[in-house]
Amino acid sequence: MRAAEEEENRRGSCGLLLEKYELGKLVGCGAFAKVYHARDTRTGQSVAIKAVSKQRLVKGGLNALVKREIAILHRLRHPHIVRLFEVLATKTKIYFVMEFAKGGELFAKVSKGRFSEDLSHRYFQQLICAVGYCHSRGVFHRDLKPENLLLDEKLDLKVSDFGLSAVNDQIRPDGLLHTLCGTPAYVAPEILAKKGYDGAKADVWSCGVVLFVLNAGYLPFNDPNLMVMYRKIYKGEFRVPKWTSPELRRLLIRLLDTNPETRITVDEIIKDPWFKKGYDEKMSRFHHEEFDLKLPESEERGTRRLNAFDIISGSPGFNLSGLFREESKMERFVSAEAREKVVEKLEEVAKAENLTVTKEGEWGMKLEGQKCNFAMVVEIYRLTDELVMIEARKGERGGVSGRDLWTDTIRPCLIQLSHKPAATVSGCSSVGAT
Tell me the backbone φ, ψ of residue 377, rounded to 5 degrees. Answer: -120, 135
Please report, to the nearest 10 degrees, the dihedral formed by the alpha carbons of residues 139, 205, 64, 54 taken in order.
110
**What are residue 93's DSSP bridge partners?**
53
Q: Do 150 and 19 reside in the same domain of the chain?
A: no
Coil, strand or helix at 292: coil
Assign residue 427 a region (left: φ > 0; alpha: ψ between -120 and 50; beta: otherwise): left
Radius of gyration of the CA atoms of the chain, in A: 25
Angle of CA points 323, 62, 72, to nearest 5°: 80
Q: Do 184 and 238 reside in the same domain of the chain?
A: yes
What's the CATH number where 28 sits? 3.30.200.20
* 223 is a catalytic site residue: no
Q: What is the pLDDT of residue 272?
A: 96
Coil, strand or helix at 419: coil
Round to whole Å and give the CA distance between 2 and 7.
Answer: 9
What size, in residues, is the chain? 434
Q: Which of 143, 161, 198, 203 is catalytic?
A: 143
Q: Do 221 and 279 reside in the same domain of the chain?
A: yes
Q: Do 60 and 137 reside in the same domain of the chain?
A: no
3-state DSSP of 103-121: CEEHHHHHCCCCCCHHHHH
Classify residue 305: in a domain, yes or no.
no
pLDDT by residue (tens digit) across 52-80? Answer: 887 766 655 556 666 666 777 777 788 99
Q: In sequence order, what are the residues at sequence separation of 6 or more whose Cβ sits closer than 8 angstroms to the Cβ of residue 181?
A: 142, 143, 164, 191
Longest Cα–Cα distance in the chain: 85
Please report, to the nearest 10 degrees, the dihedral formed by the alpha carbons of residues 214, 131, 149, 279 taken in order.
-50
Q: What is the DSSP letter of 323?
A: H
Q: What is the pLDDT of residue 58?
A: 62
Q: Do 329 and 403 reside in the same domain of the chain?
A: yes
Classify residue 127: in a domain, yes or no.
yes
Q: What is the pLDDT of residue 64?
A: 64
Side chain identity at residue 100, one-letter code = F
Which residue in 396, 353, 352 sits closest to 376, CA to CA? 396
Determine contact, residues 364/281, Cβ cutoff 8 Å.
Answer: no
CB atoms within 10 A of CB 166: 22
Determine contact, residues 332/389, Cβ cutoff 8 Å.
Answer: yes
Domain coverage including residue 46: 2-99
Classify residue 80: in a domain, yes or no.
yes
Round to whole Å and give the CA distance between 205 and 223.
Answer: 19
Q: Do 95 and 111 reside in the same domain of the chain?
A: no
Q: Do 198 and 111 reside in the same domain of the chain?
A: yes
Which residue in 89, 82, 84, 104 sits closest to 12, CA to CA? 89
Q: Do 143 and 245 reside in the same domain of the chain?
A: yes
Q: pTM, whole model, 2 decimals? A: 0.62
Tell me the mean pLDDT per 10 residues along the chain, length 434. 49 63 85 84 91 70 65 79 84 86 90 94 95 85 88 93 49 41 78 81 94 95 88 93 96 96 95 88 49 35 39 36 42 82 90 86 79 77 73 60 71 80 34 38
Q: Do 154 and 34 reside in the same domain of the chain?
A: no
Q: Residue 214 belongs to what H/E stretch?
A: helix 199-216
Q: What is the pLDDT of residue 383?
A: 64
Classify residue 336: in a domain, yes or no.
yes
Q: What is the pLDDT of residue 399?
A: 43
- Structural domain count, the chain: 3
Classify residue 206: in a domain, yes or no.
yes
Classify residue 299: in a domain, yes or no.
no
What's the CATH number where 225 sits? 1.10.510.10
Q: Do 89 and 182 reside in the same domain of the chain?
A: no
pLDDT by residue (tens digit) across 404-423? Answer: 788 888 888 888 887 654 33
What's the CATH number where 375 sits? 3.30.310.80
Classify residue 54: in a domain, yes or no.
yes
Classify residue 427: in a domain, yes or no.
no
Q: Do 286 and 400 reside in the same domain of the chain?
A: no
Q: Do 249 and 162 reside in the same domain of the chain?
A: yes
Which residue in 210, 217, 216, 285 sits closest to 255, CA to CA? 210
